[in-house]
Amino acid sequence: MQTGNETGQSGSELVRPEGIIPYSSRLSVAPANDTIIQARGLEKFYQMARLQVRALDGVDLDVGRNEFVAIMGPSGSGKSTLMNLLGCLDTPTGGTYSLNGIEVSGLYDDELAAVRNREIGFVFQTFNLLARATSLHNVELPLVYSGVGARKRHQKAMAALDKVGLGDRADHRPNELSGGERQRVAVARALVNDPAIVLADEPTGNLDSKTSYEIMQLFVDLHANGQTIILVTHEDDIAAYSHRVVRVLDGKIVSDKRQVPLTATAAV
Amino acid sequence: MLFLEIIRVALGSLRSNPMRSGLTMLGVIIGVAAVITMVALGTGAQSAVEERIQSLGSDLLTVRGGFTMSFGPARSRSQTLTTDDATAILEGTTSVTAVVPEYEGNAQIEMGNNNLNTEVLGTWANWAEVNNWELEAGRFFNQVEAEGRRRVAVLGYEVAEQLIPTNVDPVGANVRIRGISFEVLGVLAAKGAGFGPTSQDEIVVIPLSTAQWRVFGNDRLSSMTVRMADESMMNMAMAEIEVILRRQHRLRPDQDNDFFIASQSQFMDLMAESSQTFTLLLAGIASVSLIVGGIGIMNIMLVSVTERTREIGIRKAIGATRGSIQQQFLIEAIVLSCVGGGLGVALAVFASNAMSEQLGWTMVIPTDAVILSFGFAALIGVVFGFYPAMRASRLDPIESLRFE
């Protein structure tokens, strides 16, 4: 199990610069900056028996505000590891990572949880909704953990559901929804806390092509409204919706190209 | 995470698996119910003793035959008192106004096809008067019958009820004690419960001489009840009785008394004390089942944590801290144990009522026992919920999200 302590010991760069200062107070001093993600020399090593696996071997990555980036690579390339680090689900073995002006690489577990809660909206391949909860409750969940009161929570969650076109499905449970609808609920959940980035991990992997198109169209719309989006995929036609494609191989970035995105009309 | 939200989540997940939640709670329900019922039983016995202490005349003393050493490993309780001792006390003291010798034994008593084993008490004709017993029907035996070894008996209320068919008048009926035929002279009024399951009304009173010579073949006494002229003479009466009994038993100055004297309330105090010890013992045994119930909760919570690994992963990914995950599972365990505790209290009240109605036992449920056992159940939820909750909070979000 990875903890903040281990990384704190592994290099001088990783010493927590501000000591144990609550995340919330750090947020207020975060500089207004057009760079949302800044990763330098990001490394992640796993020790397996006597063998050291270098899952991520020195990655530098900058992502600006309102970029739509696709991270691509075959399985085993380190793309999932990179996504876990960018999503603050894991801590790097070496290197630094700052998200929206917050130096994340030295944070402890609970501070990382707070960063995930406010700065990151996750969309997963398998939707990962709570099966027993209604759409509304699923979307409210991030707000519950950030301590938003019940009335405000309800308002914001309804607004997010409206944004993905599911305002009329608020009291349905996931098993009463289609796959596309479930993924829309997940997108609403990702958006509800106004995160700095939306991190989508193979969001269309479990959907048919028509529904995939609808979900991608939703991402295009969100991006048009100013949302920063990072998309992890191994499908070229899904990556085609993005403005920039970052390819990862053997734990390193092998190409980083801007492209003209596929427009909605061209896709039909 | 807001506290109300956590409780809502906990209740929701318990409701979603009602069968499992119910079975998990069963351990706590039974534990709490057992503790409270046992304490209620003990407290009931104690209050019955206290009631009896109050109903007893404080002008009565009890003399019992004591322990005597015999050579070798055996140390037997011997019946050292005799009828002569009783007469000597009555004649040789100034403070004593009445002596009632008693011989207690158990015997089979029959009437027609009915029979039961009950306490048979041989005593003098003044027994009912000195002990304040009223008669329901008929009369007590008189001195002539008592001294004449007559085969007459007075039945306790319960014995008459069980032995004599309803269409037969107990007064004048014939019963057999150890095969010997007795005429029933009267029936004692009901006095109700004694200590726990024994009733004071399960008794047959016959003349002492009849008991000694015809039924049990023993010329000794079990005990004597002595009435003083006045309460204030207690110490004087005790001293006088001791002198007379030592002389009667020819004890040398270096020998201990082979009898002991106490006021009846002292005997009752002793019994109250022992019933208290008994209560504690029962409650202790019952609380073991409460702890076993707690282990059941821990077991189920561990299963639940494993089953819901993915849910934990989702919650962590969207911002749940370790603390909020831990709280969620801890509160689930506490809700389980508290609901179980509440149902246990309800079951205990029901069981106590049933026992006092069906068996006629005195049951008193003390409020502090209810509060204490409920609190203990809640504490068990905390203690046994802690480890599973900690396990849940330490799960790695990446691994948990991958968990199928």
For residue range B94-117, what is the model confidence (pLDDT) as tens digits?
888 899 999 988 899 999 888 889
Cβ contact (<8 Å) for B319 and A122? no
Do B199 and B100 share a domain, yes or no? yes
* pLDDT digits 0-9 by tens, A248-267: 999 999 999 998 887 654 44
Q: Are B377 and B28 in contact (CB under 8 A)?
A: yes
* A259: number of Cβ within 10 Å: 12
Q: What local confidence, expressed as pLDDT, does residue B263 receive?
A: 79
Q: What SS3 class is residue A66?
A: coil
Q: What local confidence, expressed as pLDDT, does residue B185 receive?
A: 92
Q: What local confidence, expressed as pLDDT, does residue B9 receive?
A: 80
Which ipTM was obtained for this model? 0.84
Residues in chain B with CB shorter than 8 Å from the CB of A122 are 317-318
Identify from B9, B318, B395, B402 which residue to disrupt to test chain A contact, counting A C-beta atoms within 10 A and taking the largest count: B318
What whole-number distance in Å separates Cα of residue A166 and Cα of residue A218?
A: 12
Q: What local confidence, expressed as pLDDT, does residue B2 receive?
A: 66
The answer to whether B317 contacts chain A (CB < 8 Å) is yes
* B158: number of Cβ within 10 Å: 20
User: What's the domain count of chain B?
Assistant: 2
Contacts of residue B203, Cβ cutoff 8 Å, sequence gap at least 6: B118, B119, B120, B121, B156, B159, B188
Query: Which residue from B minimizes the CA distance to A124?
Result: B401
DSSP state of B213: I
| Nearest residue, CB atoms, A145 vs list B12, B16, B318 | B318
Do B75 and B36 share a domain, yes or no? no
Domain boundary among B227, B257, B287: B257
Identify from A90, A124, A128 which residue to disrupt to test chain B contact, counting B C-beta atoms within 10 A and taking the largest count: A128
Residue B264 belongs to some domain of the structure: no
Cβ contact (<8 Å) for A116 and B323? no
CA of A126, closest CA in chain B: separation in Å? 9
DSSP state of A75: T
Cβ contact (<8 Å) for B319 and A1? no
A244-249 and A252-258: which strand pairing?
antiparallel
Sequence ranges of the domains in chain A:
65-92+109-267
Q: What SS3 class is residue A83?
A: helix
Q: Which of A33, A52, A42 is nearest to A14 (CA)?
A: A42
Residue with tokens 């006088």: B240
Q: What SS3 class is residue A71?
A: strand
What whole-number distance in Å separates Cα of residue B84 and Cα of residue B104?
A: 17
How distant, in Å, are the alpha carbons of A67, A94, A218, A228, B130 from that of A264?
Answer: 17, 40, 10, 18, 110
CA torsion, ordered B94, B100, B101, B102, to nearest 10 deg: -150
Residue B349 belongs to some domain of the structure: yes
Q: Which of B338, B288, B340 is nearest to B24 (CA)?
A: B340
Residues in chain A with CB shorter than 8 Å from the CB of B401 are 89, 124, 128
AA identity, residue B373: S
What whole-number distance in Å separates Cα of residue A258 and Cα of residue A93?
A: 29
What whole-number distance in Å separates Cα of residue B281 and Cα of residue B270?
A: 17
Range of the domain at B101: 67-257
Contacts of residue A268, Cβ cutoff 8 Å, sequence gap at least 6: none
Residues in chain B with CB shorter than 8 Å from the CB of A2 are 396
Q: DSSP string covering A203-245, please?
A: TTTTS-HHHHHHHHHHHHHHHHTT-EEEEEES-HHHHTTSSEE
Contacts of residue A178, Cβ cutoff 8 Å, sequence gap at least 6: A211
Do B34 and B76 share a domain, yes or no? no
Query: Which residue from B minimizes the CA distance to A195?
Result: B318
Residue with tokens 């519950």: A144
The answer to whether B12 contacts chain A (CB < 8 Å) is yes
The residues in B 75-134 lying below 8 A from A, measured between CB atoms, are none
CATH of the domain spanning A65-92+109-267: 3.40.50.300
Cβ contact (<8 Å) for A116 and B317? yes
Q: Which of A195, A215, A238 is nearest to A127 (CA)?
A: A215
Identify from A81, A116, A197 which residue to disrupt to test chain B contact, counting B C-beta atoms within 10 A and taking the largest count: A116
Q: What local confidence, expressed as pLDDT, does residue B192 receive?
A: 62
Residues in chain A with CB shorter than 8 Å from the CB of B394 are 1
CA of B298, closest CA in chain A: separation in Å? 23
Spans of chain A, pLDDT less than 50:
1-32, 265-268
CA of A150, closest CA in chain B: separation in Å? 9
Q: Are B290 and B349 in contact (CB under 8 A)?
A: no
Cβ contact (<8 Å) for A141 and B318? yes
Q: What local confidence, expressed as pLDDT, does residue A250 receive?
A: 92
| Nearest residue, CB atoms, A128 vs list B322, B394, B401 | B401
Q: What local confidence, expressed as pLDDT, does residue A28 receive?
A: 39
Q: Are B126 and B111 in contact (CB under 8 A)?
A: no
* pLDDT digits 0-9 by tens, A210-248: 999 999 999 999 999 999 999 999 889 999 999 999 999
Do B77 and B220 share a domain, yes or no? yes
Count interface pairs A-B at CB distance under 8 A: 63
Domain boundary among B232, B257, B282: B257
* A249: number of Cβ within 10 Å: 15
Do B242 and B380 share a domain, yes or no? no
AA identity, residue B94: T
CA of B3, closest CA in chain A: separation in Å? 10
| Nearest residue, CB atoms, B398 vs list A89, A114, A145 | A89
CA of B14, closest CA in chain A: separation in Å? 12
Do B80 and B217 share a domain, yes or no? yes
Chain centroid to CA B235: 32
| Nearest residue, CB atoms, B319 vs list A114, A129, A150 | A114
Spans of chain B, pLDDT less than 50:
69-76, 195-197
What whole-number distance in Å separates Cα of residue A202 and Cα of residue B83?
A: 103
Do B320 and B397 share a domain, yes or no? yes
Q: Is A173 exposed, middle or buried (0-12, 13-18, 19+ CB in 10 A)?
A: middle
Q: What local confidence, expressed as pLDDT, does residue B54 receive?
A: 66
B184, two tokens = 């029933």
